[in-house]
Structure 1
Amino acid sequence: MARDVAVIGFDGACLASIGLFLDLFGQMRLRVAHQFRTRDDIGMHTRAKLLGPSPRPIQVLGGWKLQVEDGLAATPHIYIHVPDFYCPEETTPDYIAKLHSVIDWLRSQYAGGAHLSATGRGIELLAEAGLLGNGPVPVARGAAAEFRRRYPHIRVNTTDPIAEVDRIMMARGMTHEMSLLTRLIGRLLSPTMAGTLADAMGMELDRPGLSDDPLVATAQMWLSERASRGLHIAALAEHLAVSPQTLIRRFRAQLDMTPRDYLRLIRMHSAQSQLRDTSRPVSQIATLIGYNDLKSFQQAFRQHTGMSASHYRALVRNGDDPHSSSPGPANPSDLGMPLILC
């Protein structure tokens, strides 16, 4: 069963902050459905949920009521977003005290391996949960003095709009929330998906993991976008208007691998993510990532990990680390590859 992503809602949260999260993941679901529209049995298993401290509706900023999907259950999540909120500074201690169940839940989800993000004052809930260490955290200049007073051990950054602490990413306000969420989508789903959504929203998006060589970077995006299809490197070279030999030479110079090696890594890491986070049959995963027959997939997966797909799934479901007993390729996130395929 796939682990889900969630935005946690509560009274006083900003409707725009919640809505942006749900809209982006809704667009992803539609795009995945379109890509695999010829396969009735394939879709985006990971779901985006709106959760609340209890199943009752929450009252967001402005007085509107919003129905949540569920209360805080123990189900683990891949990724959780904490929206911005508003309350007067003089009532902040009482306001946060009422959110103790949310703060405790965020702490337990993080301990269980979830990635977290927060926008604006939502960062304060992560600070209350003790998850930010010494920082740095992005805070607007006008709010920096109050944040320092309440959390003197956390370093404040008033220059950079987005900052990271371990598995936590933060934006100092809703102006930068779109950039934060698309960056996270690129890291947790795929750089191609993030780029597609950014283009649809009219955004300029940095694409981490891509080569400095424009030809190789274009090839990386082309391969990532089409990894689930039958591909020929000659078609890629023709698309880029270069010879296959030139493409291979520049790929090796930049990434120390061929385009075919890169494509195989994308597919294998996608398979690992699905084995970990979905209950799809191995045969369906093989089809999803571009293999025409199960035997070819099994051979490639064993060569990549040193074990069968079924063994890999059993290890990760038991909480073991399969990488400790496998050779392991280069870190896929360093190559612009997906960390989680839904």
Structure 2
Amino acid sequence: MKRPSRPGSLRLGLLLYPGCMPAGLLATADLVRAVNRRAGRAVFELAWLGLNRKPIVTEDGLTLRPRHVLGEFPCDVCLLPGFWAEKEADVETMLGRQAELIEALRQAPTGQALWSYCVGVALAAAAGALDGKAATGTWWFQHLLQRRFARVRWRFPEPLVADRGAVTASGAQGYLPLMTQQLGQWVSPEVMRDVEQVLMLPRPPTAHPAFRPVELMELHSTALRRLLVYAQSVPASELSLTRAAEHCAVSPRTLCRQIEAHTGRSAGAWLRLVKLRQVSDALTTSLAPLKVIGEQLGYLNESSLHRAFKQTTGMTPVHYRQAFGNVKSPQPPRRPVHPLRNKHVSVSTTETP
């Protein structure tokens, strides 16, 4: 994918066409807005696109009006939704109806990425955007796609495939893994974790109550949310009250008052807690040893980190991982036991008369 049109931002076009299924586009718009708010800056810019600016009636009867014309508005990426299809003939019919759209996609500027999901992958393939590339698609149209678009290196067992600017996902809900995986490349893991917990999970996973003061949803101050993102990006050994105050353009004394007023904790304790929360996330989502986690987050001494973590949570890192972790250690493969070598197995024979 080419570099974003503006430093620090990615222009994402949501492509509308008659009969498209809009749920994925609307969900993506919500997801992008949440990511931008959580990151504290416009990481992504959205643009609703169409072949023209006339209102478009989607599959479920919802009418949407594009704000920009495909080909006239510069985008780094276009997201191509699917459409309703129950049989191969439905796909063939839509490909015929969308000949103008397919041609417009074929004329897309070099370097513009195309992301598609569900049966929208057929439109991307018809435009030649997947020629010579690996891609996936909805499995029940596998034979049609293989037959009609032989130049695509289809990998149907995989739910999500990315290859040189073309990202494809299978299933009507394919936009969800597609967007979370792609958006996650532009923001920190902490941003995506918070967005996924708030928007996608029916109930956030259990976390230790010691980290509640640095939870996104507990921070009602926009300034503190931005400070949280900043603190997460700074190595632990370099994070200081003075540096944090400079980032917020306030005096250290003012920052201390603000943090204590909103969290009930001293500024230094709150900043240390931000980093320890990152340690806890790494412990529960990976099998990396504490030494490696500490080095990645900028801690200079493993023993000091171990001591600080236990003082904060009342648990050692090992016990914390056992209590809250969601990654299991790989089990070594079991060697098959020959039945004749197992003393608990009896073998009986029957003589043939």
How do 1:181-200 and structure 2 match up within 5 A?
Answer: 181-200=179-198
Runs (5+) with no aligned partner, structure 1: 36-42, 205-221, 243-248, 261-342
How do 1:86-125 and structure 2 match up within 5 A?
Answer: 86-87=84-85, 89-90=88-89, 92-109=91-108, 111=110, 113-125=111-123
Deviation per CA, 1:243-277: give whole Å up to 9, x if none: xxxxxx9459976x9569xxxxxxxxxxxxxxxxx
Matched, 1:52 2:57: no
Q: Which residue of 1 aligns with 2:78?
A: 80
8 Å CA contact 1:186, 1:192 repeated in 2:
no
Amino acid of the residue matched to residue 95 of structure 1?
Answer: M
Q: CA RMSD in A?
A: 3.7
Give distance in 1, aligned partners of 2:293 and 2:118: 42
TM-superposed CA distance for 1:178, in Å, is: 1.1
Give distance in 2, aligned partners of 1:190 and 1:25: 14
Matched, 1:10 2:46: no
Q: Which residue of 2 aligns with 1:24?
A: 31
- 4+ residue runs over 6 A deviation: 228-231, 234-238, 252-255
Q: What is the aligned-residue identity percentage? A: 19
SS at match of 1:174: coil
- Going from structure 1 to structure 2, the CA distance change for 1:8 and 1:202 (only over 3 Å counts) comes to closer
SS at match of 2:167: strand
- Please tell me whether Structure 1 or Structure 2 has the larger radius of gyration of its CA atoms: 2
Match 1:180 to one of 161, 178, 181:
178
Deviation per CA, 1:141-186: give whole Å up to 9, x if none: 3211111121123233232211112112111012332121111111
Give distance in 2, aligned partners of 1:30 and 1:258: 26
How do 1:1-342 and structure 2 match up within 5 A?
Answer: 2=6, 4-32=11-39, 35=40, 43-44=41-42, 46-87=44-85, 89-90=88-89, 92-109=91-108, 111=110, 113-203=111-201, 226=231, 232-233=238-239, 239-240=275-276, 250-251=291-292
8 Å CA contact 1:117, 1:168 repeated in 2:
yes
Deviation per CA, 1:187-242: give whole Å up to 9, x if none: 134433322221223459xxxxxxxxxxxxxxxxx996635789744777774399
Deviation per CA, 1:100-121: give whole Å up to 9, x if none: 443344344451x233211111
Higher relative contact order (CA 8 A, sep 6+): 1
TM-superposed CA distance for 1:128, in Å, is: 1.3
TM-score (norm 2): 0.54
- Going from structure 1 to structure 2, the CA distance change for 1:79 and 1:203 (only over 3 Å counts) comes to farther
- Going from structure 1 to structure 2, the CA distance change for 1:258 and 1:240 (only over 3 Å counts) comes to closer
SS at match of 1:188: coil
